[in-house]
Amino acid sequence: MLKIITTPSPILSQTAKPVAKLDKSVLNLIEQMKQTLLSAQDPVGVGLAAPQIGKALRIFIIKQNHKSPISTFINPLIEDFLNAPSEKNQQAKQSETTRRAKEKSGINKNVQLEGCLSLIDIWGEVKRQPGVALSYQDEKGEKHSQKFYGFISTIIQHETDHLNGILFPKRVLEQKGKLYKSRKDEKGEDIFEEIEI
């Protein structure tokens, strides 16, 4: 298991390099990333990019909920942004914990809050595109071109930003959104307090 790099580490603001060769060292790195993502509990991680564990390579992994398998994306490239195919995909899903905490903190339930394992207790309102067309390689080196919608599209956009040296607060500022700091109340539940920007 690897240590997750947190701000203000400079590697988080660097553009990651493409993976030139899918060798044993890269596969070993991906295995370690998986263990690191699975161990993230508070908050539970849904994605992890290689720069977050100190490797400036264009790799990220996703586990969108506790039941889903981990998906690996090597040299991912967003080819296009897509509209949602149906009304039900207009809103990205959020974890039950985040939804309850937002309600308790008085945050609009339609606002999508993003967090990051590299930014402890910081959350922000980020508007992401409903879908993406993504080209990437898997762990076997096979190339894929696929469309993703909803929550997984949000995660892909967040993780792709990591590969480009962008952390989500930059998107919040660009969109004139709000940032929040979370803390635990006496029952151990998350409370969100707005940060003055």
Is residue 102 a contact partner of residue 115, using CB atoms and an 8 Å limit?
A: no
Is residue 143 a contact partner of residue 134, using CB atoms and an 8 Å limit?
A: no
Measured CA to CA, the distance from residue 152 to residue 107 in angstroms comes to 23
Catalytic residue, candidates 114, 159, 174, 194? 159
159 is catalytic: yes
The amino acid that residue 130 corresponds to is P
Instruction: Give the up-direction half-sphere exposure of residue 28: CA atoms within 13 A in the CB hemisphere.
Output: 3
Measured CA to CA, the distance from residue 177 to residue 137 in angstroms comes to 34
Active site residues: 159
